Amino acid sequence: MPHGTALPWWVTGVAYQIYPRSFADSDGDGVGDLRGLVAHLDHVADLGADAVWVSPFFRSPMADFGYDVADFRDVDPLFGTLADADDLISRAHELGLRVVFDLVPNHTSSEHPWFRAARSSPRDPHRDWYVWRDPRPDGSPPNNWRAAFADEPAWTLDPASGQYYLHLFLPEQPDLDWNHPSVPAEIAGVMEFWMARGVDGFRCDVIHCIGKDPELPDAPDDLAGLPACLFDHGPGTMEQIRFLRRVVDGAPGERLLLGETYVFDRERIAGYLGDGDGLHLGFDIPALHAPWDAAAWRAEVASALELYPPRGGQPAWVLSNHDVPRHRTRYGTEARARAAAVLLLTVWGTPTVYAGEELGLEDAEVPPDRVVDPGGRDGCRAPLPWRRAAGHGWPAEPWLPFPPDARARSVEAQRDDPASMLEHYRRLLRLRRATPALHRGDLRLLDAPDGVLAYRRTADGADPVEVWINFTEQEVAGARPVGKWLGGTRVGPPEAGSPLGPDEARILSA
Ligand code: TEU
């Protein structure tokens, strides 16, 4: 990018994901809420993030903890009121944070008035807002698609009409039919409703699932065993994404369209960015599932550089979210999580940080009698520990157990301790913001010894920066990066010319 060009916030910035049930509780019911969230937004601003993405808090029976929406335009009483959502938007803006809400366009709750009407009669005008099909001649479901979370068909028979309805997730989450013109129109109305209240954009849930082929063909053999939510369903997806993009472009300001592009094919994710007319950002799912291994990450970054189109959007990198075990848990050690933070926050693209990773949280161990999620994702949804003392700042026993070492991992214990994970994240975010090569530069991979990933970032009119990451637990004698030390996993600079230490990452002005 030419020097002096003002880039949109989502190109240069860092987004912070809040799962509202687990962030902060203001009313003592054990479940986080919007007032609790607002009261702790200063934590996000202090960290140095540019935006918050808030997982759903809309009216919901909570079969999927809010990803089953019964009213897109209202706040569930568990989380607060519409006035609280307005407060969230205005308080975030006061703190200089953009606000991204979670839009769930692929399905609704089975308790949504649209679905209640649709189920009431095959002749109801809402019937075709959802996907209904007759059984096959033998009575079995219309195609071979599998649902998420349970190894069951993605179809439930409605005894009253004798037809099946489609649900890629729970039976309580019927899929909308985007081929019916009222569906895109209604969802656009929902987006306009929130944008008029000040929302800066949307994280669109399973956006790759919305453009279904009306023929609903069987999944091919190589995909047939997988949940059908993990693959694209047809030619309509890109057209629908372009439609959503026009909706956000129609509002004043810089509004973001971020897609949860949950497919394992990066070329397809890149395709959703279009030619500047698709998603601004797509989550890079392949890298989320890459092991902690230098060669593996080198391949991921190389393929990202090759596949994401220069004039489209860019990847949103994610190491942790509310759906997968935290990377601190997956990678196995705190030292790796520290090095991973350097990678996440210095690689080309837009980093997203999942609340709690800046504390180095591990997944909670959830005893069988406290398991609540049908998808087995409770561990990464454990509540955030704010304070050292028992209760950790939660006024009542939270809905899930705390993660391990909650006292030592609390915000209170880590704040102002230069060696803590929290201060490590703060330093990295500060450095990223202050360093043009890191927030807007191009990336070129460098030759590096086995076990080490190295890259150089350059931006017009700015000093180049090199990043060296040791993925191994041994010192690498052959990796002696030179240049002025800007930061990394150490609290202070290493000896000049010293080799990369175990699990060490270094950022240098070179
Ligand atoms: O997730 C989509 C998705 O594909 C995940 O379900 C993922 O495959 C799975 O969780 C891995 O265990 C989105 C939301 O992020 C998730 O929380 C919802 O449950 C889902 O959509 C349905 O809305």
Strand 314-318 versus strand 281-283 pairing type: parallel
Domains defined along the chain, listed by start:
9-107+181-432 (3.20.20.80), 113-166 (3.90.400.10), 441-509 (2.60.40.1180)
Ligand 1 center to residue 506 CA distance, Å? 34
Contacts from 210-213 at CB under 8 Å and sequence distance 24+? 210/105, 210/106, 210/176, 210/178, 210/236, 210/237, 210/240, 211/178, 211/235, 211/236, 211/237, 211/238, 211/239, 211/240, 211/241, 212/131, 212/175, 212/177, 212/178, 212/179, 212/236
Please tell me the predicted confidence (pLDDT) of residue 86.
98
- Any atom of ligand 1 within 6 Å of the Cβ of 64: yes
Q: Which atom of ligand 1 is nearest to the CA of 148?
A: 6
- Any atom of ligand 1 within 6 Å of the Cβ of 283: no
Amino acid at the residue 11: V
Q: How far apart are CA 352 and CA 284, in angstroms?
A: 11
Nearest to 56 by CA among 37, 79, 26: 79
- Any atom of ligand 1 within 6 Å of the Cβ of 466: no
Tens-digit pLDDT string for the chain (510 aa):
444 468 999 999 999 999 999 999 999 999 999 999 999 999 999 999 999 999 999 999 999 999 999 999 999 999 999 999 999 999 999 999 999 999 999 999 999 999 999 999 999 999 999 999 999 999 999 999 999 999 999 999 999 999 999 999 999 999 999 999 999 999 999 999 999 999 999 999 999 999 999 999 999 998 888 999 998 877 899 999 999 999 999 999 999 999 999 999 999 999 999 999 999 999 999 999 999 999 999 999 999 999 998 778 999 999 999 999 999 999 999 999 999 999 999 999 999 999 999 999 999 999 999 999 999 999 999 999 999 999 999 999 999 999 999 999 999 999 999 999 999 999 999 999 999 999 999 999 999 999 999 999 999 999 999 999 999 999 999 999 999 999 999 999 999 889 999 999 999 998
Model-level pTM? Answer: 0.97
Mutate to test the pocket of ligand 1, among 229, 258, 285, 324 (most ligand atoms within 8 A of CB): 229
* Residue 62: how many other CB atoms lie within 10 Å: 18
Nearest to 335 by CA among 431, 472, 453: 472
Q: Which atom of ligand 1 is nearest to the CA of 169?
A: 22
Ligand 1 center to residue 323 CA distance, Å? 6
Tell me which residue has its CA closest to atom 2 in ligand 1.
206
Please tell me the predicted confidence (pLDDT) of residue 251.
98
Let me know how many helices (H) and strands (E) the chain has, helices first: 16, 18
Nearest to 49 by CA among 351, 323, 307, 417: 351
Q: How far apart are CA 9 and CA 94, in angstroms?
A: 16
Ligand 1 center to residue 319 CA distance, Å? 15
Quote the longest CA-to-CA distance of the chain: 76
- Any atom of ligand 1 within 6 Å of the Cβ of 104: yes
Instruction: Quickly list H helices, 77-172.
Output: 82-94, 113-120
- Any atom of ligand 1 within 6 Å of the Cβ of 422: no
Please tell me the predicted confidence (pLDDT) of residue 311.
74
DSSP state of 61: -
Task: Specify the 3-state DSSP secondary structure of 123.
Answer: coil
- Catalytic (active-site) positions: 205, 260
Tell me which residue has its CA closest to atom 16 in ligand 1.
323
Question: Do the beta carbons of residue 266 and residue 312 sit within 8 Å?
Answer: no
Please tell me the predicted confidence (pLDDT) of residue 5.
60
- Any atom of ligand 1 within 6 Å of the Cβ of 248: no
Nearest to 176 by CA among 126, 123, 134: 126
Strand 484-488 versus strand 505-509 pairing type: antiparallel
